[in-house]
């Protein structure tokens, strides 16, 4: 009969072996999961994940493991979807269980105080926000109320290009930001030097820096890291709280300006004014500031990046600009610029808009979703708590749907020029135009405005200018735009943006100059006069 010490020893060894087995099983892939690359104990696939441009790696892996594969980040499972049919099934047909957001301790809890719409979990608070967005950005309101702002701001953008073509990277930023500022706060950005314009884009940079991969410890994967002294981990909590302070300072300034204006003037019909007038809404000032800030950040950055992408493409592939200009000139002439009313007569322009969204998507991996229940698909398990990532880049560069995907070619879309909302809501996943506005219940609520803003901007720019390669007047060297996705773009943050590049902006005729100046003068008197140009300090 074994003595007591032997029994104790065997028991301890068994317990330790069991604990070691459990520890080493962390990061391993359950055989029921969709396939993926080999893992290492505890960390899973973390060592294999690049800090920069992970969408390129995911697209490579999709070619090996298919349109649905998984990676392990410690104990967490992440599903990468690069298949239209699966995306339709998971995000649209199963939206009741796939519309949540994964834990985001830095973005949602520290910076957002649970009020940041982008990271807000699916639930009653999110649904109230979504209802507010829908009521204020539905198609009829965009058409009747917001397009006059977009036309006026686009008129100024043309004027700005005429007077200062060297700062062509700045003018689209002012255009996109000023539209959103007018809508949200009733305040516009009158020039590229406007202080509140710079504060918004500085805030975007701070948010991008703190949220990029590796900027903070992976506390959502290994929660125990929250209890490690932050001084050992780059003071990440203090840095995140500083970003929160900057965010609130930026957007509370606009919110306070609206409240002060209401005391001294008649109420303006801005987004914030309407929310303050709605007695059914019980929103704190803090929540309203985050609501407005989230909208402003999304609307400013994405519009600007698409217009800059458009200019790159027109420099590299001028034949498409010429075809669009031929169509525009036949419909519009020189005495006016194109407007949204010309949309149905200018399908080539809308094809260019869609190809910009496909070719260089602003958010190559979208914003992650989170699965609330176990879900079986094609005989494989996606367990509750799986993070769901839509590989927008991979879908947009799928050669089955887009031959020679790295080449910009708007003629892919000549038979698909309806607005994005039509394709988002269609069950015909094979005919989806692009995934730039997201999927499921988390589709961008501003897509009606975004589609129209980009159409108006690109149509007017094509009407007014030729975009050509820059030729150095001293050396004669021709500057080619860097279209390499690795070296030509900054995609470290939430939104991908082209690095600065050189081009030449050429006015197409003197008659067009006169039209531009005339329409800008009309915009000043009929539209801009209704909006403030400074924020109360």
pLDDT tens sequence for the chain (537 residues) = 456 666 556 556 656 555 554 455 577 889 999 999 999 999 999 999 888 899 999 999 999 999 999 999 999 999 999 999 999 999 999 999 999 999 999 999 999 989 989 999 999 999 999 999 999 999 999 999 999 999 999 999 999 999 999 899 999 999 999 999 999 999 999 999 999 999 999 999 999 999 988 899 999 999 999 999 999 999 999 999 999 999 999 999 999 999 999 888 876 789 999 999 987 888 888 999 999 998 998 888 889 999 999 999 999 999 999 999 999 999 999 999 999 999 999 999 999 999 999 999 999 999 999 999 999 999 999 999 999 999 999 999 999 999 999 999 999 999 999 999 999 989 999 999 999 999 999 999 999 999 999 999 999 999 999 999 999 888 989 999 999 999 999 988 788 999 999 999 999 999 999 999 999 999 999 999 999 888 866
Instruction: List, in sequence order, every residue forming a beta bridge with 387; answer none if it has no partner.
Output: 78, 370
Query: Alpha carbon of 436 to those of 23, 99, 139, 142: distances in Å?
Result: 40, 17, 18, 19
Q: Which two three-digit tokens encode residue 200?
A: 């918004």
Instruction: HSE, CB side, 13 Å, CA atoms: give it for residue 39.
Output: 25
Q: Say which CATH architecture domain 29-530 belongs to.
A: Orthogonal Bundle (1.10)
CA 268 to chain centre: 29
Query: What does R_g of the chain's alpha carbons equal in angstroms?
Result: 25
Check whether 444 is labelled as a binding-site residue: yes
Note every long-range contact of 322-329, with CB atoms under 8 Å and residues 24 or more positions apart, other chains counting.
323/348, 324/348, 324/349, 324/352, 324/410, 324/462, 325/462, 325/463, 325/508, 328/459, 328/462, 328/463, 329/463
How many helices (H) does the chain have, and how many strands (E)?
18, 12
Q: Which two three-digit tokens encode residue 166?
A: 């060297």
| Domain extent listing, the chain | 29-530
Say how far apart CA 491 and CA 367 lie, in whole Å: 14
């Amino acid at each position: 009969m074994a003595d007591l010490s032997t029994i104790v020893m065997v028991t301890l060894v068994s317990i330790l072996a069991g604990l070691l087995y459990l520890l080493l099983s962390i990061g391993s892939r359950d055989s029921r999961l969709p396939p993926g690359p080999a893992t290492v104990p505890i960390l899973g696939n973390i060592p294999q994940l690049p800090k920069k441009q992970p969408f390129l790696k995911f697209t490579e892996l999709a070619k090996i493991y298919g349109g649905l594969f998984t990676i392990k980040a410690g104990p967490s499972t992440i599903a990468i979807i690069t298949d239209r049919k699966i995306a339709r099934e998971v995000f649209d047909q199963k939206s009741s269980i796939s519309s949540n957001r994964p834990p985001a301790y830095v973005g949602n809890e520290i910076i957002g105080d649970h009020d940041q719409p982008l990271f807000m979990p699916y639930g009653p608070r999110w649904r109230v926000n979504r209802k507010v967005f829908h009521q204020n950005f539905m198609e009829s309101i965009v058409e009747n109320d917001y397009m006059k702002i977009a036309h006026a701001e686009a008129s100024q953008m043309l004027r700005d290009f005429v007077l200062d073509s060297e700062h062509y990277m700045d003018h689209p930023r002012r255009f996109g930001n000023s539209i959103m500022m007018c809508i949200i706060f009733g305040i516009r950005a009158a020039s590229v030097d406007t202080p509140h314009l710079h504060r918004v884009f500085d805030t975007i940079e701070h948010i991008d820096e703190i949220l990029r991969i590796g900027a903070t410890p992976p506390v959502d994967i290994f929660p125990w890291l929250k209890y490690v002294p932050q001084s050992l981990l780059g003071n990440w909590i203090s840095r995140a709280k500083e970003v929160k302070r900057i965010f609130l300072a930026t957007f509370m300034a606009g919110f306070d300006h609206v409240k002060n204006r209401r005391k001294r003037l008649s109420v303006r019909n801005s987004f914030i004014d309407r929310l303050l007038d709605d007695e059914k809404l019980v929103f704190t000032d803090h929540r309203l500031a985050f609501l407005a800030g989230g909208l402003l950040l999304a609307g400013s950055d994405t519009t600007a990046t698409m217009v800059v992408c458009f200019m790159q493409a027109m420099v590299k592939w001028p034949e498409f600009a010429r075809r669009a200009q031929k169509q525009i000139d036949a419909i519009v002439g020189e005495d006016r610029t194109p407007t949204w009313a010309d949309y149905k007569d200018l399908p080539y322009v809308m094809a260019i808009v869609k190809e910009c969204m496909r070719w260089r998507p602003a958010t190559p991996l979208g914003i992650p979703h989170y699965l609330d229940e176990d879900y079986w698909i094609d005989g494989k398990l996606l367990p509750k708590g799986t993070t769901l990532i839509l590989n927008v880049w991979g879908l947009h560069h799928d050669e089955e749907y887009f031959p020679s995907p790295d080449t910009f070619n708007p003629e892919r879309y000549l038979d698909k020029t309806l607005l994005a909302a039509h394709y988002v809501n269609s069950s015909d996943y094979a005919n989806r135009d692009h995934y730039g506005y997201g999927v499921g219940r988390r589709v961008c609520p501003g897509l009606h405005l975004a589609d129209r803003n980009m159409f108006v901007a690109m149509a007017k720019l094509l009407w007014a200018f030729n975009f050509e390669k820059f030729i150095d007047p001293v050396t004669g060297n021709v500057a080619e735009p860097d279209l390499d996705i690795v070296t030509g773009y900054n995609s470290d943050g939430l939104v991908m943006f082209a690095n600065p590049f050189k081009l030449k902006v050429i006015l197409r005729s003197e008659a067009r100059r006169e039209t531009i100046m005339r329409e800008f003068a009309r915009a000043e008197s009929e539209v801009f006069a209704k909006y403030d140009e400074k924020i109360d300090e």
